[in-house]
Structure 1
């Protein structure tokens, strides 16, 4: 007669946690692909993504951070490490733009970065207007405003804002923003079934956001090209001075 041996309680708990965590990477669509990428890169990958997002605004932290929080809530990543490294990535990205503004200047840096895909020079000028209207506090409060959040560092560097003040404002504000999004995602870490139900809607939101960014970029570039052609036409039509 064979006697069945019960599995230890702690083994059953770990297995359940692994199952829950692995299921979080099984979402389909675009959100599932982003989730798998974050899962593969780990906590330091989140820092890298936030670094790139700060320098290259069209990559939204609103997508990266909740998904990273979801994985942390499911036990796939360390929540505290995600929060710390995400803020580190945000700060280092902001510091790059600060240094470029201080060393190269606002206009030259804007012309150079404006050549990147889906980046428009007008966004840099709007961030500069925000900084000049609100002063140093713009570095703190601007971190909560899309686009401005990423680009406000450039005029701050160009105006030689004190690096210590810049760093404190950036780290605190980025920490607040990142924590809110990560903790929002973490709250759903153990509710995979609920998240799975809304995957289709999440994907639709992502697709619409991408389409809006691309269409806006194309329209702005077409309008700028037309304006430049009209300006060149007016200059050619003007009579030459004697």
Structure 2
């Protein structure tokens, strides 16, 4: 099977749009694998004759993150509790009283830094915009942290994965599809470990609250 031919058959604009769209929807508050999509798109741009531009992948991811968080902010500001209730009925394992309580605790504890560093944490990446809006954080402060966090997370991830993909391509040559598969699996494993760690933190926080 010619793996490169399969990748080449995917139009570059489709990769950019899908990357930006998934990250945008995740930032609005819908649990989607934005990080995995970003890693995959970045690897598409690291082959020997890539038809996907890493610069446009990074730009699409940054725009998706900033726009999605801003939409989430305004939705959260006007429909916060109703939004969380709706998400809870659609994604009960991701959005429930315990996860929302933990996210609010993080925002109250760390303020604007929760927006910036939340971009690097799956749970907070989903809730950052809607929570900031529902807690009436000033939009100017939110936007500054949102843009900076998006640039660091999306840009850093895209170019970092691209650089590692180039190294893998140099050593694996015709077996680069193995490297792509390993990298994607590695990304999924890291995401799974991070989710489990966050779940443990959420459970610990909920238990502390119950004991009060």
Q: Same fold (TM over 0.5)?
A: yes
Matched, 1:81 2:67: no
* Distance change >3 Å, CA 37–CA 63, structure 1 → 2: farther
Matched, 1:112 2:86: yes
What's the offset of the Cα at 1:86?
A: 0.9
Structure in which a larger fraction of residues adopt helix: 2
Report the counterpart of residue 125 of structure 2 in structure 1. 149
Larger Rg computed on CA atoms: 1
What's the offset of the Cα at 1:204?
A: 5.1
Q: What SS class does the counterpart of residue 152 from structure 2 fall into?
A: helix
What's the offset of the Cα at 1:120?
A: 2.1
Where do residues 159-238 of structure 1 align in structure 2 (5 Å cutoff)? 159-187=135-163, 188-189=165-166, 191=169, 193=174, 195-198=176-179, 201-202=182-183, 206=188
Counterparts of 1:173 and 1:95, CA distance in 2:
13
* Structure 1 stretches of at least 4 aligned residues deviating more than 6 Å after TM superposition: 35-38, 207-210
Match of 2:14 among 18, 36, 41: 41
* Distance change >3 Å, CA 145–CA 207, structure 1 → 2: closer
What is the TM-score when the length of structure 1 is the normalising length?
A: 0.64
Report the counterpart of residue 209 of structure 2 in structure 1. none
Q: What SS class does the counterpart of residue 73 from structure 1 fall into?
A: coil
What is the TM-score when the length of structure 2 is the normalising length?
A: 0.72
Structure 2 gap segments, 5+ residues each: 203-212
